[in-house]
Amino acid sequence: MTSGAGSRETDLHRRLRQLPSVEELASRLHDLDRGDAVAAARAAIAEARAALRELAVGGSQLADLEGRARELARPPLRPVVNATGVIVHTNLGRAPLPPSALEAVAAVGAGYSNLEYDLADGSRGSRQAHVARLLCELTGAEDGIVVNNCAGAVLLAAAALAGGRELVVSRGQLVEIGGSFRIPDVVAQSGARLVEVGTTNRTRVADYSAAVGPDTGALMRAHQSNFRTVGFVEEVEIEELCSLGVPVIDDAGSGALAPGLPELADEPPVRRSVAAGCAVVCFSGDKLLGGPQAGLMVGTREAIDACRRHPLARALRIDKLSLAALEATLRLYRDPAAALREVPVLRMLVAGDDELAARAEAMRARLEAGGVEARVIRAGARVGGGALPLLELEGPVCAVDPGELSLDELTRRLRAGDPPVIGRARDGWLVLDPRTLDDASAEAAVGAVLAATR
């Protein structure tokens, strides 16, 4: 060993000995739960040791141990302030739940419930009974069940109606539904044999008709939720598809149940698909419906019963907390006006300029009072979550000048805050979009910016 190497090794050991013990560092975190404090202290010290060893060969400087331990002690999954203007933000948990859904989750989760118990006769019941009547009432279907997400609903429908047989789909609808999951992959897992008809941009009813044979289990329509094909295009209306005399599975995507909203004009109404005679219509609970993650399935009594009895139904079943939230959300749709008031996704979708301008101006004024340059400008928000890709929701936003900080540094500090604040960038400014903020979260966003720029 050279003298230079020995000196570095000696210095490394000296620095390592200067680190506090786990018990000593945990004692500084006395305001935290004991178990969390010890685990965070152990992890922070392990990181510090690794950093010091890297420092011996030119690595980075050691960070504040107590601050790092407190950061590690925070729950990995925690609330954030969504100031992006993306309403159904997949990375930020998609749809915020209505107050009544949160109350239902708390009530059911706090103790026991009649999840699978028939209170009338004291026998075993079905968890599906809690939402089946509501689904039929809201969609006009003969029957309905719920699974854990829409991809699961499509998988179950394909397996129950076309497993071991042919499932006919237009080439233009072989979409990727997010997370690299593709319709052909879902169909393959169902045990059905995929039959492609038509072309990428044009499929006619004759294409489906020519493909139908004795081994056809079902036809499937998959809504282009997260993109649109425009120009020289043609697709078959759901009524024509159902007229071919073969069971039709309709993947309607985002779950447009609210009637009469111009913003939802590009989404296929679930009621229309049911009225057309689809065997099963599948749609999401946590997108435009504004509820928890769930895959809703409505349709004919015979087809839904086949799905209910299929072995996959057990593997894909919805949990009790999501079921409670979904039931409460669906109840709101009995009164369209109540749904617009109470379902956050719908409320944000139809928010008017006056409301948005007032919130953006209040944010600007408080930031200016705190010495941060800000202005109210107009910008476009998005629905997100793979829904309504062509719809741009323009409105007033609050744009913040990062000042002496770079925009990257400001957004890093905001992400590191409690709660983290997530905005978006525009021309070197930070945009805080009031569409995805209420008054309380707008106040939190402004407070975080003021703290980050001091």
Residues 331 and 375 in one domain: no
pLDDT at 58 (0 to 100): 41
Q: Is the pLDDT of residue 312 over 70?
A: yes
- Of the listed ranges 133-147, 240-254, 261-275, 313-327, the least confidently predicted one is 261-275
CB 252, CB 283: distance < 8 Å: yes
pLDDT tens-digit readout, 82-132:
999 999 999 999 999 999 999 999 999 999 999 999 999 999 999 999 999
Residue type for 227, please? F
Residues 206 and 241 in one domain: yes
pLDDT at 186 (0 to 100): 85
Taking alpha carbons only, the member of 177, 150, 356, 340 closest to residue 263 is 340
pLDDT at 262 (0 to 100): 81
Residues 432 and 368 in one domain: yes
Supply the CATH number for residue 165's domain. Answer: 3.40.640.10
pLDDT at 172 (0 to 100): 87
Residues 155 and 40 in one domain: no
pLDDT tens-digit readout, 206-235:
999 999 999 999 999 988 755 566 667 788
Residues 45 and 85 in one domain: no
Residues 60 and 45 in one domain: yes
The mean pLDDT value of the chain amounts to 91
Taking alpha carbons only, the member of 396, 426, 425 closest to residue 412 is 425
Residues 185 and 326 in one domain: yes
8-state DSSP, 434: G
For the packed helices 65-73 and 34-55, what is the interaxial angle rounded to 10 degrees?
130
User: SS in 3 state form for 284-334?
Assistant: ECCCCCCCCCCEEEEECHHHHHHHHHCCHHHHCECCHHHHHHHHHHHHHCC
Mean pLDDT to the nearest integer, 9-21: 85
pLDDT at 2 (0 to 100): 53
Residues 61 and 130 in one domain: no
Q: Is the pLDDT of residue 156 over 90?
A: yes
pLDDT tens-digit readout, 424-452:
999 999 999 999 999 999 999 999 999 99
Q: Residues for the chain: how many in total?
A: 454
pLDDT at 60 (0 to 100): 41
pLDDT at 173 (0 to 100): 85
Residue type for 382, please? R
Taking alpha carbons only, the member of 164, 316, 175, 365 closest to residue 252 is 175
Residues 42 and 85 in one domain: no
Q: How far apart are CA 183 and CA 221, in angstroms?
A: 11
Q: Is the pLDDT of residue 57 over 80?
A: no
Q: How far apart are CA 424 and CA 211, in angstroms?
A: 48
Residue with tokens 């749904």: 339
Residues 427 and 380 in one domain: yes
Mean pLDDT to the nearest integer, 342-362: 96
Beta bridge partners of 281: 250, 298
Q: Determine the distance from the C-alpha atom of residue 439 to the mean position of all C-alpha atoms in its chain, rounded to a whole number.
A: 22
- Of the listed ranges 18-22, 308-312, 441-445, the least confidently predicted one is 18-22
Range of the domain at 62: 3-73
Supply the CATH number for residue 390's domain. Answer: 3.90.1150.180
Q: Which residues of 367-384 are buried (b: 16+ CB within 10 A; e: fewer)?
A: beeeebebebeebebbbb
Q: How far apart are CA 274 and CA 143, in angstroms?
A: 11
Q: How far apart are CA 382 and CA 380, in angstroms?
A: 7
Sign of torsion over alpha carbons 138, 144, 148, 152: negative
CB 242, CB 194: distance < 8 Å: no
Overall domain count for the chain? 3
Taking alpha carbons only, the member of 347, 331, 449 closest to residue 401 is 449
pLDDT at 56 (0 to 100): 52
Mapped onto helix, strand or coil, the DSSP state of residue 75 is coil
Of the candidates 342, 373, 405, which is a domain's last residue?
A: 342
Prior bond of 419 cis (ω within 30°):
yes
Q: How far apart are CA 254 and CA 139, in angstroms?
A: 14
Mapped onto helix, strand or coil, the DSSP state of residue 131 is helix
Residues 229 and 170 in one domain: yes
Q: Is the pLDDT of residue 347 over 60?
A: yes
Residues 18 and 143 in one domain: no
pLDDT at 1 (0 to 100): 47
Q: Which residues of 224-242 are buried (b: 16+ CB within 10 A; e: fewer)?
A: ebbeeeeeeeebbebeebb
pLDDT at 234 (0 to 100): 85
Taking alpha carbons only, the member of 416, 412, 451 closest to residue 71 is 416
